[in-house]
């Protein structure tokens, strides 16, 4: 092992707003270095950071002309999927693709800056 992953960094047009979105989705404490870099410190060590990108162009999932580059998977108990969807939509997420009538275990969303993430059913 060469090192240890300490954070995943998301480029975005508004680091404070995106950090607040993910704090509601995943929990954790928002720590701002300045308006260009904000950390979401999580007790499990899976930290996220948000970096200002003035020329940010969000992915256009699933358009290969503007690929997703990466996405986050968020585990949710299967019985709470509909409630979790309601909450992420209220926070500003956009549904990109549902679970195809329950035929698969995930739903795809975009965060307020356009990064794809999935709610994945567990159990």
- Contact between 110 and 118 under an 8 Å Cβ cutoff? The reply is no
User: In the chain, how long is the greatest CA-to-CA distance?
Assistant: 44
In terms of DSSP H, where are the helices of 1-123? 15-26, 81-90
At 70 the pLDDT is 77
89 three-state secondary structure: helix
Q: Confidence class of residue 96 from pLDDT cuts 50, 70 and 90?
A: very high
- Contact between 94 and 109 under an 8 Å Cβ cutoff? The reply is yes
Residue 10: both structure tokens together: 């998301």
pLDDT (tens digit per residue) in 16-60 = 999 999 999 999 999 998 999 999 999 988 899 999 999 998 888
Q: Confidence class of residue 12 from pLDDT cuts 50, 70 and 90?
A: very high
Question: Which residue ranges make up each domain of the chain?
Answer: 1-55, 57-123
Measured from the Cβ of residue 40, the count of other Cβ atoms closer than 10 Å reads 25
Q: The domain 1-55: what is its CATH number? A: 3.30.720.120
At 25 the pLDDT is 96
| Structural fold of domain 57-123 | 2,3-Dihydroxybiphenyl 1,2-Dioxygenase; domain 1 (3.10.180)
Q: Confidence class of residue 62 from pLDDT cuts 50, 70 and 90?
A: confident
Between 62 and 112, residue with greater pLDDT: 112
- Contact between 50 and 19 under an 8 Å Cβ cutoff? The reply is yes
């Amino acid at each position: 092992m060469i090192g240890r992953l300490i954070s995943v960094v998301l480029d975005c047009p508004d680091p404070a707003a995106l950090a607040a979105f993910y704090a509601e989705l995943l929990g954790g404490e928002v720590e701002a270095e300045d308006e260009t870099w904000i950390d979401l410190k999580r007790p499990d060590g899976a930290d996220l950071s948000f970096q200002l990108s003035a020329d940010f162009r969000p992915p256009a999932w699933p358009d290969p002309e503007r690929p997703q580059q990466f996405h986050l998977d968020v585990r949710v108990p299967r019985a709470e999927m509909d409630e979790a969807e309601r909450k992420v939509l209220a926070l500003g997420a956009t549904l990109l693709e549902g679970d195809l009538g329950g035929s698969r275990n995930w739903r795809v969303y975009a965060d307020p800056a356009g990064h794809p993430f999935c709610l994945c059913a567990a159990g």
